[in-house]
Amino acid sequence: MSKEEFEAWIEAHPSDREAFTGLHTVIRRDGERLVAIPYSQYYGEFLEEAAAKLRAASKTATTPSLKKFLASRAEAFLSDDYYQSDMDWMDLDGDLEVVIGPYETYEDELFAYKAAFEAFLCVVDPQDSANLAKYKGELPWLERNLPIPDEHKNLDRGSESPIRVADEVYTGGDTRAGVQTIAFNLPNDERVREAKGSKKVLLKNMMHAKYNAILLPIAERAIPGERFDDVSFDAYFNFVLFHELSHGLGPGRIMKDGRETEVRLELKDLYSALEEAKADVMGMWALYELADKGLVDAAIVQSLPWTVVPGLFRSARFGITEAHGLGVVCQFSYLMEKGALAETPDGRLTPVQEKWRGAVTDLCRDLTMLQAVADYDKAQAWVQKYGQVPPVMRRILDALADIPVDVDPVYSHVGS
């Protein structure tokens, strides 16, 4: 099925729009018609078995919030209504962080409408989590101070937004299919985000693995040798943290042409790349803003550019057709155009300190406004302009061929 056929069907059958663009339906042919089949029916055999296992797990759970979440998620598998179980997941506490369900839309390369199932089982680090709790109270302030006109700010989103630091001990489904994530920000349901915000989970063991095995070796080749010591895990950790926090800032549900809609629905296949790029640069912008308030250590923002630049290459190596990869190529091209990145005589890259923060703020504004306006054609033109790999980036990427692109976690306890 082509995009054109899908959109022509929606235009001719507007009452089908909600079901057809929903996260939890499969589109199939029924003779001459297109039909939307709920996941609970199409994948019923698997979801009924999964729901039974979740109910069994709920009966053995000793933490009340976990018991409640597992039971409500089992019901959601059979009803396709994930709202209550997402609300229950936001309230999850205790030593375990459990995620299971259809969330990310990266696999839907047609429109990014359809969610894929994934699972995480993590052990929480309570001390690290408590240390970061102070930042969630700053989210309303950051939203109010975004570098965009006030009418485009989302001041109604919930600010509960818990932050948890954890070690990943098992994953399954979509998250095992491609790039291994180092953090996630869920749920994606804008109704839940407006009621409670979103939860940020940082996978510290995965972050250490990627930092040591990939980011540091890239830094040795991508930036001037005398600045290698300016790369820091603290800057990397906080960059990831504020990337995830920034997913909960900016436009979400918007009004367009007199109708209520979501940025995700309007930007379709471009949404994921633009959202990942926005989270990167808005996270940097937020770190600078909070450093000005004295809430972020000055050493972190001093290390930030030197840590981010090799990180751009790390993500670009996932491929520019992948959301994170395309997003960082756009960032790289924009920062080069603004003079915030410069090539050294020996072919390495250096952040231009006097231009870096201003360019980051400008890029944060431009990306957030692309979402606020949600004009697909304008967004497509922007991505076409900045989404081409510059020669200097291509040359350095080619020189990194012997460095691993990603890590492949092995769970030693599985099957034991």
Distance of CA 166 to the CA centre of its chain: 17
Q: Which residues contact 288 (CB under 8 A, 6 or more apart)?
A: 301, 357, 360, 361
pLDDT score for 126: 93
Rounded CA gap, 49 and 67, in Å? 18
DSSP annotation string for 227-284: GGGG--HHHHHHHHHHHHHHTTSS-SEEEETTEEEEHHHHHGGGHHHHHHHHHHHHHH
Of the candidates 333, 349, 376, 84, the one whose C-alpha atom is nearest the C-alpha of residue 231 is: 349
Domain ranges of the chain: 1-38, 188-398
- Classify residue 361 by burial, with Cβ atoms within 10 Å: 0-12, 13-18, 19+: middle
Beta bridge partners of 38: 25
Beta bridge partners of 118: 101, 173
pLDDT score for 414: 63
Of the candidates 98, 105, 102, 109, the one whose C-alpha atom is nearest the C-alpha of residue 81 is: 102
Residue matched to tokens 């994934």:
118
Rounded CA gap, 389 and 396, in Å? 11
Return the DSSP state at 411: -
Strands 163-173 and 199-203: parallel
Whole-angstrom Cα Rg for the chain? 21
Rounded CA gap, 126 and 52, in Å? 30
Return the DSSP state at 185: E
Residue type present at position 238: N
- Classify residue 225 by burial, with Cβ atoms within 10 Å: 0-12, 13-18, 19+: exposed
The model's pTM is 0.85
- φ/ψ of 182, rounded to 5, equals -110, -5
Alpha helices in 31-170 (DSSP H): 39-42, 44-60, 64-79, 83-90, 126-136, 139-144
Rounded CA gap, 403 and 406, in Å? 9
pLDDT score for 324: 84
Residue type present at position 130: A
User: How many CB atoms are closer than 10 A to CB 50?
Assistant: 19
- Residue 187 backbone zone (phi > 0: left; psi -120 to 50: alpha; other: beta): beta
The CA distances from residue 363 to 215, 227, 327, 333, in Å, are 23, 25, 12, 11
Rounded CA gap, 38 and 321, in Å? 28
pLDDT score for 416: 46
Of the candidates 289, 284, 89, 333, the one whose C-alpha atom is nearest the C-alpha of residue 193 is: 89
| Tens-binned pLDDT, residue by residue, of the chain (416 aa) | 899 999 999 999 999 999 999 999 999 999 999 999 999 999 999 999 999 999 999 999 999 999 999 999 999 999 999 999 999 999 999 999 999 999 999 889 899 899 999 999 999 999 999 988 889 889 999 999 999 999 999 887 666 678 899 999 999 999 988 889 999 989 988 889 888 888 989 999 999 999 999 999 999 999 999 999 999 999 999 999 999 889 889 998 898 988 899 998 999 999 999 999 999 999 999 999 999 999 999 999 999 999 999 999 999 998 887 778 899 999 999 999 999 999 999 999 999 999 999 999 999 999 999 999 999 999 999 999 999 999 999 999 999 999 999 999 988 776 54
Buried b (16+ CB within 10 A) or exposed e, 231-254: bbeebbbbbbbbbbbbbbbbbbbb
Secondary-structure percent of the chain, ordered helix, strand, coil, rounded to 5: 55, 15, 30
Rounded CA gap, 99 and 340, in Å? 39
